[in-house]
Amino acid sequence: MDSQAQLSDTIASQCERRLSDCGIRPTGQRVRIAVLLLSAPQHLSAEQILDSLRAAGARVSKATVYNTLNLFAERGLIRQLSVDGSRAWFDSNVDAHYHFHDLTSGALIDVPVPDVEFSRLPPPPPGTEVAGIDVVIRLRKKA
């Protein structure tokens, strides 16, 4: 076994562990998706994940990708974002953070929490409480 394969095994093992910890049975497809998505903080669409896995030679169905992403999101392993109306983006960074959205390229860039500070926020309407705050800073090319 070369070091590349060994490294992959390690990552796969870590992912299996994370899935198990969340009460998710670490099946082949789920681990593959986890390895792809959880290896680094990133934003991927279902289509990108499907293409990536198939390009790597895996046999995966669209249904499984969606089922898996929804399951991961439900268990808090990933976060589903709605920044543009076109499709969902799946964010492997589940720590609180915000986003730049580059309108030219469509790219999403993480903004760490300490980089945004609110000195005033409205009180939530009666009977409700704040579940979370999403901030999307839209970017265009500088004039």
Using CB under 7 A, list all residues that contact DNA: 24-30, 45-47, 58-64, 66-68, 70, 85-88
- Contact call for residue 41 and its own copies (CB under 8 A): no
- Contact call for residue 127 and its own copies (CB under 8 A): yes
d(CA 132, CA 46): 24
CB-based burial, 130-140: b 16+ in 10 Å, e otherwise: eeeeeeeeeee
Q: Which is nearer to DNA, 19 or 125 (CB)?
A: 19
Shortest spacing between CB 104 and its own copies, in angstroms: 8
Query: Which string of x and - marks every residue 44-83 that binds its own copies (by CB under 8 A)?
Result: ------------------------------------x-xx
Number of residues that bind its own copies (CB under 8 A): 40
Give the list of residues 6+ apart from residue 45 with CB closer than 8 angstroms, or none.
87, 88, 89, 90
User: Which is nearest to 67 in space by CA: 97, 38, 27?
Assistant: 27
Shortest spacing between CB 59 and DNA, in angstroms: 4
What are the Cα distances from residue 104, in Å, to 32, 43, 71, 91, 98? Answer: 31, 17, 31, 20, 19
Kindly list the residues in this chain that would bind its own copies in the complex (CB under 8 A).
Answer: 80, 82-85, 87-88, 100, 102-104, 109, 111, 115-122, 124-125, 127-143
